[in-house]
């Protein structure tokens, strides 16, 4: 496996917390502790524009496939809805009053899920943008949402160290997974639906059987918190990003560590916490507290 950095996207003046590829190929959106949500051109790795100003930090960005919409979850608890056809914010989803940490969608159900520090997950219609449900998940923050590939289960990572699994059809509670000793920051189902990966502030990467919910493997993967886990869209690998300033690439079949991207390993890598990742083909994009977007070309 060969890794080379192909670009630094600079211009943010504060830490970047989130990134999301647009439904339109070659376009990236980023947001953080800045005054606005930024659009980038990945064809030439250039700044395009600030899409819209925001009154407070952006913690989550989501662009659901098949909809001309982008959702931005704010520290204030508000979710801004940008319509690409109208080229403006057309709706403001106001139900939460505490920070929004994750936004995901179920295309099978045409529903949007929003996770908040208030311990609830609100469910909205993607067609009408009306509030459908409010699911009481935890007494503490819900940090992350993962939906299995078959869209039968939805899983929540919580600040109380627990992973909570619900039926996506009726949002009934199924079970708790309790093994992490600190807040769960990231979850990811393998593309084949066989495994559920979890990463937490305890720096442990845990691999669960997605059918029986038994713990398959525990890996002390990083020195500090695992902020994000992301499977490659087509290859049998996944990447983890950490507060320890490193990105690690693992085998999805054997769970072996194949590459460490960090300053210590000689790469011109991030100098502060790496908060989020995105795969654009074989390009891995990363954002950090160091205010930079980095693009890595991975040759497998």
Residue 271: pLDDT band by 50, 70, 90 thresholds? very high
Residue 20: pLDDT band by 50, 70, 90 thresholds? very high
Residue indicated by tokens 């525990």: 218
Segment 232-241 mean pLDDT: 98
What are the backbone dihedrals phi and psi of residue 265, each rounded to the nearest 5 degrees, phi first? Answer: -95, 10
Q: Is the pTM of this model over 0.95?
A: yes
Mean of pLDDT over the chain: 98
Q: Give the pLDDT confidence of 41-59 residue by residue, as tens digits.
A: 999 999 999 999 999 999 9
Every domain of the chain and the residues it spans: 2-13+81-272+294-299
- Tally of residues, the chain: 300
Residue 298: pLDDT band by 50, 70, 90 thresholds? very high
Residue indicated by tokens 């990236």: 28
pLDDT given at position 169 = 97
What are the backbone dihedrals phi and psi of residue 73, each rounded to the nearest 5 degrees, phi first? Answer: -95, 130
Q: Given the DSSP bridges, would you call strands 142-147 and 131-136 parallel, antiparallel or unpaired?
A: unpaired
pLDDT given at position 71 = 98
The rounded distance, in Å, linking the Cα atoms of 182 and 96 is 24
pLDDT given at position 9 = 98
Instruction: Answer yes or no: are the C-beta atoms of 21 and 280 closer than 8 Å.
Output: yes
The rounded distance, in Å, linking the Cα atoms of 233 and 300 is 13
Tell me yes or no: is domain 2-13+81-272+294-299 CATH 2.130.10.10. yes
Long-range CB contacts for residues 160-163, cutoff 8 Å, separation at least 24: 161/200, 162/138, 163/187, 163/196, 163/198, 163/208
Residue 299: pLDDT band by 50, 70, 90 thresholds? very high
């Amino acid at each position: 496996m060969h890794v080379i950095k192909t670009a630094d996207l600079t211009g943010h003046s504060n830490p970047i917390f989130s990134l999301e590829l647009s439904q339109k190929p070659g376009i990236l959106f980023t947001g953080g502790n800045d005054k606005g949500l930024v659009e980038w051109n990945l064809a030439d790795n250039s700044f395009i524009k600030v899409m819209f100003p925001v009154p407070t930090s952006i913690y989550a960005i989501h662009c659901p496939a098949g909809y001309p919409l982008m959702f931005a979850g704010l520290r204030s608890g508000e979710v801004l809805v940008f319509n690409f056809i109208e080229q403006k914010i057309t709706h403001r989803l106001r139900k939460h009053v505490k920070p929004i940490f994750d936004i995901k969608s179920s295309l099978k159900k045409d529903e949007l899920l929003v996770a908040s520090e208030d311990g609830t997950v609100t469910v909205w219609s993607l067609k009408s943008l009306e509030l459908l449900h409010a699911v009481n998940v935890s007494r503490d923050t819900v940090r992350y949402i993962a939906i299995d590939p078959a869209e039968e289960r939805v899983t929540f990572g919580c600040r109380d160290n627990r992973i909570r699994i619900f039926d996506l059809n009726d949002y009934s509670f199924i079970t708790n997974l309790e093994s992490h000793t600190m807040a769960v920051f990231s979850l990811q189902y393998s593309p084949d639906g066989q495994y559920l990966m979890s990463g937490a502030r305890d720096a442990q990467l845990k691999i669960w059987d997605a059918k029986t919910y038994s713990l398959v493997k525990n890996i002390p993967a990083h020195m500090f918190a695992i902020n994000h886990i992301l499977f490659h869209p087509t290859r049998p690998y996944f990447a983890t990003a950490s507060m320890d300033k490193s990105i690690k690439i693992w085998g999805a079949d054997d769970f072996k560590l194949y590459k460490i991207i960090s300053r210590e390993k000689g790469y011109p890598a991030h100098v502060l916490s790496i908060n989020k990742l995105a795969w654009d083909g074989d390009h891995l994009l990363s954002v950090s507290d160091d205010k930079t977007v980095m693009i890595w070309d991975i040759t497998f």
